[in-house]
């Protein structure tokens, strides 16, 4: 066949270039298991070199597979969503999948619409990233219809679902214990949106560590925000208005931490001399927020491991492959920067 006068490469052409059989090429292009990763990579490289473009519609009719995984986000506004997206794309491509990203802008009806679209034949599986408490009905529907999916970040104690989680409580405890070792006793937690599980878990970990160390967890130990962009400015203003100012802050995420530091810096505060700050996520995109001004101490999420696990779980479910663990829990790690200082015991 010709496309614009140029011959269209066939599966046989790919097989010859890759040095494998037509059957092997067919398995790789149709995302079937039983092919060694090195061979799979060789086939995709040959397909790329030949500019092979599969007929998705025809393949779907034959295999009932689209080669697509849908990714449903709460919102693209948070830096962590964008950083994870690139990692998901990398691992999906290794398995021969394309990703289609959808942002719900925190609207549950939009999330239901996108998931219904993917379940209607547009994708072989769905990755849901976000931790809204009202996601439960959507997840229950996916379970009832046995559609391949995995949930990153959110969890529900009453359900056993395909899950990839970071231990946010453990990360928050690390932050508190680190500040305590530096001599801090007056520590404030700036929360995220408490309608989201991740914010609840980080607050719970903070409270648990503070209580274990005998530190105050009254109302003055918390500054509440909705987690949106810009809320760190208001949090810094609230902190500056406190009668008894804390010596350290544990922020819900890096963006809030940087917004706070920028606001405090403009008001004449020195970091970490006047106040120490710990963030959460350790995102490369956010770490360049104020280059040269701050090197944030932060709790790092292992996003590459999270992305790889999520793709593996949903791809295995789409292929009806057994023996793959559907639950992964990763422990974050504190990365020490230059935003925390030792203080005299209070």
Dist CA 103 CA 114 (whole Å): 9
pLDDT at residue 250 in the model:
98
CA 201 to chain centre: 15
Q: Report which DSSP code applies to 221.
A: G
pLDDT at site 65: 76
Per-residue pLDDT of the chain (346 residues; tens, 9 = 90+): 444 445 667 888 889 999 999 888 887 876 666 788 888 888 888 887 887 766 554 455 445 678 899 999 887 777 788 889 999 999 999 888 999 999 887 788 888 889 888 988 889 999 999 888 888 888 988 998 899 999 999 998 888 999 999 999 999 999 999 999 999 999 999 999 999 999 999 999 999 999 999 999 999 999 999 998 899 999 999 999 999 999 999 999 999 999 999 999 999 999 999 999 999 999 866 555 555 546 899 999 999 999 999 999 999 999 888 778 899 999 999 999 999 999 976 5
Q: What is the pLDDT of residue 1?
A: 46
The stretches of the chain forming alpha helices (DSSP H) are 11-18, 22-29, 37-49, 56-63, 79-94, 108-117, 136-144, 168-181, 197-212, 231-240, 254-266, 284-287, 303-318
Q: Which residues pair with 326 in a beta bridge?
A: none
d(CA 324, CA 129): 20
Order the strands of the 98-103 sheet from edge to edge: 98-103, 68-73, 125-130, 149-153, 163-166, 327-330
Structure tokens at 125: 């599986």
Which sign, positive or negative, has the C-alpha torsion 59, 61, 63, 67? Answer: positive
Tokens encoding 42: 């060789």
Q: Are 258 and 294 in contact (CB under 8 A)?
A: yes
* CA 308/CA 302 separation, integer angstroms: 10
């Amino acid at each position: 066949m010709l496309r614009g006068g140029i011959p269209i490469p066939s599966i046989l052409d790919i097989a010859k270039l890759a040095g494998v059989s037509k059957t092997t090429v067919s398995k790789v292009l149709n995302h079937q298991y039983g092919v060694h990763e090195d061979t799979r990579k060789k086939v995709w490289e040959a397909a790329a070199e030949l500019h092979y473009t599969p007929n998705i519609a025809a393949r779907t009719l034959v295999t009932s597979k689209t080669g697509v995984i849908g990714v449903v986000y709460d919102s693209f506004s948070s830096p962590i969503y964008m950083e994870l997206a690139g990692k998901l794309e990398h691992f999906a491509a290794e398995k021969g999948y394309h990703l289609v990203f959808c942002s719900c802008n925190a609207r549950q009806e939009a999330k239901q619409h996108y998931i219904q679209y993917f379940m209607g034949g547009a994708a072989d599986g769905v990755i849901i990233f976000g931790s809204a408490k009202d996601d439960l009905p959507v997840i229950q529907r996916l379970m009832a219809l046995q559609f391949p999916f995995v949930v990153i970040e959110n969890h529900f104690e009453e359900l056993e679902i395909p899950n990839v989680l970071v231990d946010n409580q453990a990360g928050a405890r690390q932050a508190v214990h680190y500040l305590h070792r530096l001599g801090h006793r007056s520590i404030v937690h700036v929360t995220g949106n408490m309608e989201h599980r991740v914010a609840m878990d980080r607050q719970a970990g903070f409270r648990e560590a503070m209580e274990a160390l005998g530190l105050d967890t009254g109302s003055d130990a918390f500054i509440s925000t909705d987690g949106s962009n810009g809320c760190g400015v208001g949090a810094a203003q609230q902190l500056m208005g406190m009668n008894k100012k804390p010596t350290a802050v544990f922020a819900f995420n890096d963006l809030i931490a940087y917004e706070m530091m920028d606001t405090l810096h403009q008001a004449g505060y020195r970091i970490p001399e006047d106040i120490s700050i710990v963030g959460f996520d350790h995102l490369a995109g956010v770490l360049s927020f104020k280059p040269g001004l701050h090197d944030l101490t932060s709790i790092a999420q292992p996003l590459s491991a999270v992305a790889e696990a999520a793709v593996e779980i949903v791809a295995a479910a789409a292929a009806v492959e057994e023996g793959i663990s559907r639950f992964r829990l990763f422990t974050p790690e504190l990365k020490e920067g230059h935003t925390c200082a030792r203080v005299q015991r209070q």
